[in-house]
Chain A
Amino acid sequence: MTLVFPKESLSAFPKHLTPGYRSTVKRSPSKPLIVVPHTLSELTGPVYGHDAVQESDADLTKQHKGEPLGERIIVHGQVLDEDKRPVPDTLVEIWQANACGRYVHNVDQHPAPLDPNFTGAGRTITDKKGYYRFVTVKPGAYPWGNHHNAWRPNHIHFSVFGHSFLSRLVTQMYFPGDPLFPFDPIFNSVADEKARQRMVSTFDLENTIPDWALCFRFDIVLRGREATPQDTDKH
């Protein structure tokens, strides 16, 4: 199977310069990006084996002596390509604030407590059906300095690889119905409403475990679709 990575698929991505998110002003390229063909260097990318991670890396509630405080949740879904084929054996990494909205990072000075039983980092490799699953606690919302009274909606950061270096994706998973959505310039940097909704997980009652944890489903669609005969002719 030969995959192609049409650039049109990136149309829903945020613009590099999105002034509502102030930090983009000095951190976005100002000169035109140079269009180049995809070569072997772009069409390949890192491949991980299952030995790269431990099974326990996917349970963020079991990394310390005790259990973290907060609302225990399950976050799961499939990593897919543009043809909705599963992407198996790919590395999925997550990191997040604790239930109080505080990150384990020196730079985070939000006056909310750290939790000695929570780091907030997890990782796993997708199975043969492209499926991943994490157990964690629901991250809290937190303030940031972008503008007066700015708060980030609850979110979990995701980093995913896929079939090539072109399918590499870093994104954020949000929770359904968050009242902060209309006010967040990062969420709204994605201009298209339908595309924004693709970053919002859905509540998954079926996979919620009674008396134990709510479940949220988050499917991730990466760049890459099967080449048609027409695409193949171009190569």
Chain B
Amino acid sequence: MSDITPSQTVGPFFAYGLAPHSRCDWKPSDIYDWKDTVGANLLTPDVSGTKIRIEGRVLDGDGMPINDAMVEVWQADAQGRYAHPSDSRARPNTKFMGFGRSATDKNGVFSFDTIKPGPVSGPNGKAQAPHIVFCIFSRGMLRQIYTRLYFADEAANDGDPILSLVPADRRGTLIAHKEVRGGLPVYRFDVRVQGENETVFFDI
């Protein structure tokens, strides 16, 4: 048996430590300041690809907004490369990290500014459709939950080896839909933690 350290909830008060400049309004006064290590803007000056915004809400089992959740995203660059030693391909956009963090606001809303990732290699050499891994923490969650965002306008979704493991009637919960606002593609992606239309979460 392994002896890893157990998970505990992030609790309701993480924002000032983990996401001080995110969407959550936590400040009792101006004397407390703390800079972000990780923000919701993944864009770097050297990044290439299509700039997009990801926006959505985190909702509880009653469909009520979760106003104290932290959403983290992990993604490849536009060429499908991860900024990690396990992905040894050369990356021209060396500053692009592919990691972002957003606290939700009083309406349960999170958002990220990033680029659309490229297809990523998958099991048995089969490509995965472009996707973003989501990891969600919140008061009332004793451990994080993982899901994935896929893009509605990607034909490659049909052959994706992970989506194909999800029952067909639940796959829609992983698909973000595009709107265009002021020329910027905005992908809407709500995370329903429980209940009807519950988002698919992964046992990984």
Let me know if B62 and A26 touch, CB within 8 A.
yes
One of B2, B82, B193 near A27 (C-beta < 8 A):
B193
Q: How far is the CB of B32 from chain A (nearest CB, A)?
A: 5
Q: Give the residue among A37, A104, A119 with the most B Cβ atoms within 10 A.
A: A104
Q: Using Cβ atoms and an 8 Å threshold, which residues of chain B touch A64?
A: 31
Q: Using Cβ atoms and an 8 Å threshold, which residues of chain A touch B121?
A: 39-40
Name which residue of chain B comes closest to A224, CB basis.
B4
Q: Using Cβ atoms and an 8 Å threshold, which residues of chain B touch A207?
A: none
Q: In whole angstroms, how far apart are the Cα atoms of A38 and B162 in the complex?
A: 10
Identify the stretch in A127-135, A161-169, A175-183, A208-216 within 8 Å (CB) of chain B at 4 or more residues. A161-169
Main secondary structure of the interface of A (DSSP, over half): loop
Let me know if A198 and B26 touch, CB within 8 A.
no
Q: Using Cβ atoms and an 8 Å threshold, which residues of chain A touch B16?
A: 95, 103-105, 119-121
Tell yes or no: A14 within 8 A of B by CB. yes
Given contacts A16-B141, A30-B61, A45-B84, contact A105 B8 (CB under 8 A): no
Q: Using Cβ atoms and an 8 Å threshold, which residues of chain B touch A63?
A: 34
One of A103, A171, A195 near B13 (C-beta < 8 A):
A103
Given contacts A41-B128, A165-B133, contact A221 B4 (CB under 8 A): yes
Let me know if B143 and A14 touch, CB within 8 A.
yes
Q: Using Cβ atoms and an 8 Å threshold, which residues of chain A touch B143?
A: 13-14, 16
Q: In whole angstroms, how far apart are the Cα atoms of A190 and B9 in the complex?
A: 11
Identify the stretch in B45-53, B181-189, B195-203 within 8 Å (CB) of chain A at 4 or more residues. B195-203
Q: Using Cβ atoms and an 8 Å threshold, which residues of chain A touch B148?
A: 41
Given contacts A47-B85, A120-B17, A221-B3, contact A27 B198 (CB under 8 A): no
Please, what's the 1-or-0 string for B7-26, where 1 marks a CB less than 8 Å from any CB in chain A?
Answer: 11111111111101000011
Given contacts A25-B61, A29-B145, A119-B34, contact A222 B6 (CB under 8 A): no
Let me know if B131 and A12 touch, CB within 8 A.
no
Let me know if A123 and B2 touch, CB within 8 A.
no
Tell yes or no: A189 within 8 A of B by CB. yes
Q: In whole angstroms, how far apart are the Cα atoms of A121 and B99 in the complex?
A: 21
Q: Using Cβ atoms and an 8 Å threshold, which residues of chain B touch A93?
A: 17-18, 37
Q: How far is the CB of A109 from chain B (nearest CB, A)?
A: 10
Name which residue of chain A comes closest to B122, CB basis.
A39
Let me know if B141 and A46 touch, CB within 8 A.
no
Q: How far is the CB of B11 from chain A (nearest CB, A)?
A: 6
Q: In whole angstroms, how far apart are the Cα atoms of A35 and B66 in the complex?
A: 26
Q: Using Cβ atoms and an 8 Å threshold, which residues of chain B touch A27?
A: 60-61, 66, 138-141, 193-194
Q: How far is the CB of A217 from chain B (nearest CB, A)?
A: 13
Q: Using Cβ atoms and an 8 Å threshold, which residues of chain A touch B60?
A: 26-27
Q: In whole angstroms, how far apart are the Cα atoms of A172 and B139 in the complex?
A: 13
Q: Using Cβ atoms and an 8 Å threshold, which residues of chain B touch A108?
A: 12-13
Name which residue of chain A comes closest to B64, CB basis.
A26
Let me know if A53 and B37 touch, CB within 8 A.
yes
Q: In whole angstroms, how far apart are the Cα atoms of A35 and B60 in the complex?
A: 22
- Could you list 19 A-B pairs, sorted by A, with CB under 8 Å? A9-B2, A14-B142, A16-B145, A26-B194, A36-B165, A36-B202, A39-B120, A40-B120, A42-B146, A46-B38, A95-B18, A103-B13, A107-B68, A121-B16, A157-B8, A169-B5, A170-B10, A195-B3, A196-B6
